[in-house]
Structure 1
């Protein structure tokens, strides 16, 4: 079975490695007697990518009721005044 190459396609972005790839593609096109097609993609796309909605955070179960007593206003005032003495 014989494989015949008719076209060599080169994708380039203008970088240094793309220049090396271009040299290889040109060499292959000459050796294989094939046509060379260059494709370049730069800049932003014509149509912006659709944004995916952010996933909702998982619902947390309600916290169990606390058995601790809430401090009264009097006890809170007493503690804070001692802290500054």
Structure 2
């Protein structure tokens, strides 16, 4: 039987695919929730399966959310990046 963290991760992936199908302006709130949930899942993966798998999950997370992470980094630097229409 698969551990529950695996089922949570599978659900997160399906939710991400669903959000990706939305128009860009409607993605902000659900993508923000997924963005906040991902580090929690990555830590759970690290605790249950080891930190090598957590690092792989972190690499996948950064790859998937590279544009929102760039936007947040620009906002933290005090810049005002342009949002897509």
Does TM, scored on the shorter chain, surpass 0.5? no
Q: Normalising to structure 1: TM-score of the pair?
A: 0.31
Structure with more of its chain in strand, by fraction:
1
Decide which structure has the larger Cα Rg and report it: 1
TM-score under structure 2 length normalisation:
0.31
Higher share in helix: 2
